[in-house]
Chain A
Amino acid sequence: MEKVGLFTPIKINKLVLKNRIMMSPAFSNSAAPGGFVTDWTLRHYQKRAAAGVGLVMVEHTGVSGYYIHGGNRLQISTDLHVPGLARLARVIKEAGAAAGLQIAHSIHGVGLKPEDLPKRVILEMIREFIEGARRAYEAGFDVVELHFAHTYTMADLLSRRTNKRLDEYGGDVYGRMKAHREIINGIREMMGPEVTLFARICADEFVIGGNTLKQSRVIAGELEKMGVDCIDVTVGVRFDDGGLKGYSDLRGKPTVEYEDGPNLYLAEDIKRHVGVPVIAVGKLGNPEFAASVIEQGRVDMVAMARPLLADDKWVKKVQAGRPDLVRTCVCCNSCLYKRRHPDDPIRCMERECARCLACLRNCPYRLPFINEKGRLEFGNEWCDECGMCAGLCPARVVRFQADPQYDWVSRQVEPAVKKLSPGQRRVLVITCASGPYRCDDKFLPGGLAHSAALVRVPCPGRVETVQMIRILELGVDGILLAGCRSEENPECKYRHHHPWAPHRVRRAGRILEEAGLSHKVIAHISLTGLEALDLAGVTRNFLNGLEVNNRVGEADDHRPEETA
């Protein structure tokens, strides 16, 4: 048998793809109001198609004009959308790739759950899907991919966790996929068996009580029976549990701390259970790794989105035997989360790296290195996820899920501070959540509940100066960073952060002083084991100190008036 590689053609239904690389559908935020294709959209896909991608799967396109996600999303809800999409299909095909369109429906976007939907809406949705598929094929797309995954309606219906419907569209896995069956049957009836139809499913939702491989094997098998030509296996991106940027979301967009292809085992498993081709996705941008996946027959095709954003000529370079020229995607996810303006289209933000090399110079494991191309690379196989690099990165390019995030203050600290009584001196105690010195809420007894809030972080040394200032903005009078004594805690993986806390506190104090705000106090304390048990006492001391400081501070405030 001929050896199969990345560039071996593959036939799916009647469609022959020139290679096994699919541009994974990824929201580009480029549609015009009303969901119409713009020139930017055309260029975006045309460029990747021209660089040799086998199948360009155009992003999530709404089959409904109402049940749709936020952002500038494409639609295929009316016939008016067809000419634009037809142009898009044409430029992709003229550039040499096959064109696919992913169609989807989102009740999440309007804040509904499956059980909220009257049956009428479900039937309407099924009809919209069928209509959408018809329009897509009529617009000239070779492939329609039904989006049954992530945070969209069809995944909500599939999910063990979220589909709580009591009618025939709920219940066991077969009931939960009744709508899917009707959509596929409808499309096949209308368009015949010749058209190529893909479905994207979550092999594991990575939420508590969600579908796992056990369910998705069945789902995949059923989909095959229903007449789907190819299963595109993704994972996660379910917001029910951790929300945006939660664990499930992260698994769907594996970041720097994951090894190559962290979800591949799932796709591999699905492949063993179905006869149709299977596509894998998720951190497959390493050319060598991507090739090995196909060569070893683990899946039939690889899909990638972020690597093609980082380098639109990825395929061309790899095919030409020059993978060394590929601009590596560092999986920072800044393209997804860090657009400068909500209306900016998606693009690789990696160039925002200022090349300051702070990560390289300060990694305790000496992992980042400058490769032979002169580019910065993260050798992440030994990464302990201590987050030093993320804590230092001045451009916020390197980020870790475990870090106190950019929105940490608003998501965790703000609710905690809101519970405090506004009449009193209010302080925030930031303690360790990981070492033996981790402190729990029970360490702050009732007497302090009105004046002290406790927030736990992986290491108090990781709280940045800017975050401290933003916490003060919430109205608290003081922040106490209660860290451990690193010499007593040598195994902690965050130990490298530990020395930072006093430095950052000092800097914050200087800034406050400079700004004439020295009545607010930020302090750092290295707890001993005993003190950790008596956090309440430590907090009371801090509060008392604050009281004294404030009396002094108030006197200072009055002095200028008297002299004036």
Chain B
Amino acid sequence: MIIGQRKPLKRIFEMLDPYDRILIAGCGSCVTVCMSGGLKEAEETAAVLRLHRQAEGRPVEVRARVVERQCEPEFLETLDADLPHFQVVLSLACGVGVQRYSLFRPGKLILPGLDTLGSGLPVRQGLWEEVCLGCGDCLLDQTAGVCPITRCAKGLLNGPCGGSRNGRCEANTENHCAWQIIYDRLAARGELNLLEEYRPPKDWSRGHWGGPRRLEREDMPIV
């Protein structure tokens, strides 16, 4: 699922500064699950925005709504009745949702309220971690189901750098060294020989670096 976190409120206040009729649109899928852009957070953002303007002495009208998924125009349509009334929409969806909304309603200013952090999984209640970079060429079969491209700060393919200590990453000691995890998992399976194989340089052209990727099913369009 896509994880994201609310932009710093200061930044949100700056973006919304010129406006006094604001719709805050939450998204009911991934960012609701990671508790950063659902209905609750939309209401919270709305409340704190009102409080902020109250302190400034500039009242503001904010409404918090949520749609099932902001990446689909049909769901966004359900907000249309309200839309003309508001000068601007603060979307609490991931970058996909914000772009979808902007494309779908080009006449409306859609501002991002979230910083998207990528594809993550819930580690425990209240903690999510990025685990997939969408490199377009999955190698989890070779690495005991742990992605070194995402979870190693340097994205190394042939083993750890010299900076891991006590199983922690040199770049951020809060993070586990991905290669330590891979090593432990492979050792438990008795598959350490996988680590001795040389992994050639990755074909990054299959990832984002080859330009934005597309997915097309030729049998899907109904002509």
Please indicate the chain A residues that have their CB under 8 angstroms from the CB of B57 in the complex: none
Least CB distance from A456 to B in Å reads 22
Contact B52 A354 (CB under 8 A): no
Given A356-B33, A469-B47, A472-B51, decide whether A394 and B38 contact each other with a Cβ distance below 8 A: yes
Per-residue interface assignment for chain A, residues 332 to 352, with 1 indicating a CB less than 8 Å from any chain B CB and 0 otherwise = 000000001101100000011
Q: Is the CB of B10 within 8 A of A514?
A: yes
Report which of A344, A395, A465, A469 forms a contact with B51, defined as CB distance below 8 A.
A469
Is the CB–CB distance between A469 and B48 below 8 Å? yes
What residue of chain B has the Cβ atom nearest to residue A507's Cβ?
Answer: B44
Bitwise interface map of A from 462 to 489 toward B, beta carbon under 8 Å scored 1, else 0: 0011100110110000000000000000
CA–CA, A465 and B36, complex, Å: 13
A394 near B41: Cβ-Cβ < 8 Å:
yes
Known A-B contacts A341-B82, A358-B125; the reply to A514 vs B9 at CB < 8 A is yes
Beyond A341-B81, A511-B9: 10 further Cβ-contacts under 8 Å? A344-B78, A358-B125, A394-B32, A394-B38, A394-B39, A395-B32, A466-B40, A473-B51, A516-B52, A517-B51
Question: Does A225 sit within 8 A of B, measured CB to CB?
Answer: no
Count of B interface residues, CB-CB < 8 Å = 30
Which residues of chain A come closer than 8 Å to B52, judged between CB atoms? 515-517
A350 to chain B, nearest CB (A): 12
Closest to B41 in A: A394
CA distance A395 to B55 in the complex (A): 29
Q: Is B51 within 8 A of A354, CB to CB?
A: no
B1-17 near A? 1/0 per residue, CB < 8 Å: 00000001110010000
B68 at interface (Cβ–Cβ under 8 A)? yes
Q: State the A residues within 8 Å of B (CB).
A: 340-341, 343-344, 351-352, 354-356, 358, 361-362, 394-396, 464-466, 469-470, 472-473, 511-512, 514-517, 520
Measured between C-beta atoms, what is the minimum distance from B185 to chain A in Å?
A: 24
Kindly report which residue of chain B lies nearest to residue A519, judged by CB atoms.
B55
B40 partner, pick from A343, A352, A394, beta carbons under 8 A: A394
A515 near B48: Cβ-Cβ < 8 Å = yes
Asked if A362 and B125 sit within 8 Å, CB to CB, the answer is: yes
Whether A394 contacts B35 by the Cβ 8 Å rule is: yes
Is B54 on the interface with A (CB-CB < 8 A)? Answer: yes
B8 touches A514 (CB 8 A): yes
Chain A residues in 8 Å Cβ range of B29: 354
> How far apart are B85's CB and chain A's nearest CB, in angstroms?
12
Closest partner residue, chain A, to B40 (CB atom)? A394
A395 touches B39 (CB 8 A): yes
Determine which of B10, B32, B33, B44 lies in contact with A466 in the assembled complex, contact meaning CB atoms within 8 Å: B44
In the complex, which residues of chain A have a beta carbon less than 8 angstroms from the beta carbon of B48? 469, 511-512, 515
| B120 on interface, CB distance cutoff 8 Å | no
Looking across the interface, which residue of chain A has its beta carbon closest to that of B52? A515
Residue of B nearest to A465 (CB): B44
A394 and B9 CA atoms in complex are apart in Å by 20
Give me the 9 closest cross-chain CB pairs, A-B, nearest first.
A356-B33, A466-B44, A354-B32, A469-B47, A394-B38, A514-B9, A470-B47, A515-B9, A394-B35
Q: Which residue of A lies closest to B36 (CB)?
A: A394
Q: Distance in Å from the Cβ of A506 to the closest Cβ of chain B?
A: 12
CA distance A340 to B81 in the complex (A): 11
For residue B66, which residues in chain A have a CB less than 8 angstroms away from its CB? 340, 352, 395
Give the residue name and chain of the A residue nearest to B50 (CB): A473
- The answer to whether B51 and A515 have CB atoms under 8 Å apart is yes
Query: Per-residue CB proximity of B75-105 to A under 8 Å, as 1/0?
Result: 0001001100000000000000000000000
Which residues of the partner chain A approach B50 to less than 8 Å between Cβ atoms?
473
B28 at the interface (CB under 8 A from A): yes
Chain B residues near A340: list those with CB within 8 A. Answer: 65-67, 78
- Return 10 A-B CB contacts under 8 Å, by A number: A340-B78, A341-B81, A361-B125, A394-B38, A394-B41, A395-B66, A466-B43, A473-B50, A511-B9, A520-B51
State the CA gap A63–B28 with chains docked (Å).
40
| Distance from A426 Cβ to chain B, minimum over Cβ atoms (Å) | 14
Which chain A residue lies CB-closest to B35?
A: A394
CA gap between A514 and B13 in the complex, in Å = 10
The answer to whether A356 touches B51 (Cβ under 8 A) is no
Given contacts A395-B38, A466-B44, contact A352 B28 (CB under 8 A): yes
CA distance A516 to B51 in the complex (A): 10
Bound CA–CA A146/B65 (angstroms): 38
CA A334 – CA B155 in complex, angstroms?
A: 46
Residues from chain B with Cβ under 8 Å of A394 in the complex: 32-33, 35, 38-41
- Minimum CB–CB distance from B126 to chain A (whole Å) comes to 9
User: Of residues A344, A351, A352, A466, which shows the largest number of chain B Cβ atoms within 10 Å of its Cβ?
Assistant: A466
Chain B residue contacts of A351, Cβ below 8 A: 68
Q: If A394-B38, A396-B39 touch, does A473 touch B54 (CB 8 Å cutoff)?
A: yes
Compute how far the CA of A351 lies from the CA of B178 in the bound complex, rounded to whole angstroms: 36
